[in-house]
Structures are given as structure tokens and as C-alpha cells.
Amino acid sequence: MRARQGLAGVIISAVGLIVAPAQSQDWQAQQQALRAPRSIGIRSPEFQAGKAIPRKFTGTGDDVSPPLEWTGVPDATQSIAIIVDDPDAPGGTFTHWLAYGLSPGMSSLAAMPANAAEGVNDFGRRGYGGPCPPRGAAHHYHFVVLALDTRLGLAAGARRSDLDARISGHVLGRGELVATYQRA
């Protein structure tokens, strides 16, 4: 009986090793981006860090992306990416926006430029999907600007895992603005 339990444990461990790398690569890329030097300052003229996001920029409002401004992009930057996510989501981190291929000379974003691209968010559509947490729950939304040492070459409509794989090892600097939203 012990031998069977031991063999079953080995098989389960082996299956875990086969399945886990695909998941852990995405997680590792996300963690690497989060550990990049915080050399970039980021703000929005529409809300302050730690404060509520105005309803206009939420899924219960106009569902439009808020304007963002940033400073301190490293000189070697080849492109900029923006990721907006909600780590408080009931099912785990929820991606609200992926914007990439932004010019390194940009210092603000009020609307997507024609030469940049947007990925598919966790709502299953391309572009920005504003905060829309369950009623009564205050969630934190992380607006992250990443300075990359490469042009990603990703077409519009990429998934988060595709973006994470491409930015892995290419983040020169980052900035983060965290704000909240709570549905009444």
C-alpha cells in the first residue's frame, strides 16, 4: 500500500512539473515586471494616488480610459507599455487594460495613438475595460507604465500572457499609480 501511495505521489508531482512551467512563466514575467526599478513617476490629472477613480472611467460610467502622465523614462527606452489590473478580483488578478507599442518619447496618454496597440483584457475584448467590482467591495486598481528596451512587435489583440512573455527581461523601469473604486 505504501509503495502505491509513493508511486501516486511521484506521478502527481511529475504531472505538476509538466503543467506548472506554463503557468509559472507568466507569473514569473509578471513578478519580474513588478520588481523592475521604480524610476518612472506616474499620475493622472483626474484622480490622486490612493483615492477613488471617478465614475466616468469605470465600467458603471463611460468606461473610457483615464488620462495618464509620466516622467523619468530611461534614455535607452525603445517602447512603453501600460498595464492596468485589479489584484483584489475574486478570481485572482484581473487585467483591465493592455496598451503597448507606445513611443518612448511620449509622456502622457489621453487617447491611443494610431501607431500603438491594445491587447485583450479579461473582459474578453480589446481595449480598456473600466473598474466594475462586485457591489460593496472596494478594489485597488494598479496603473503600471513600463519602459522597455525593445519594440515588442506584438499585433493588436495580444493576450496578457503574450505581453508578459515579450516583456520578460526587457523592463528598464516602471511606474505605478494605485487608485480605488467601489460600487455602491
Residue among 78, 83, 71 nearest 33 (CA):
83
Residue among 77, 129, 84 nearest 107 (CA):
77
* Cα 98 from Cα 184, distance rounded (Å): 27
Question: How much is the pLDDT for 32?
Answer: 56
pLDDT tens-digit map of 62-120: 999 999 999 999 999 999 999 999 999 999 999 999 999 999 999 999 988 888 899 99
- Do residues 30 and 176 touch, judged by C-beta distance below 8 A? no
Question: How much is the pLDDT for 36?
Answer: 58
pLDDT confidence bin for 10, thresholds 50/70/90:
very low
Mean pLDDT of the chain: 84
Predicted TM-score of the model (pTM): 0.80
List domains and CATH numbers for the chain.
2-182 (3.90.280.10)
* Cα 34 from Cα 27, distance rounded (Å): 11
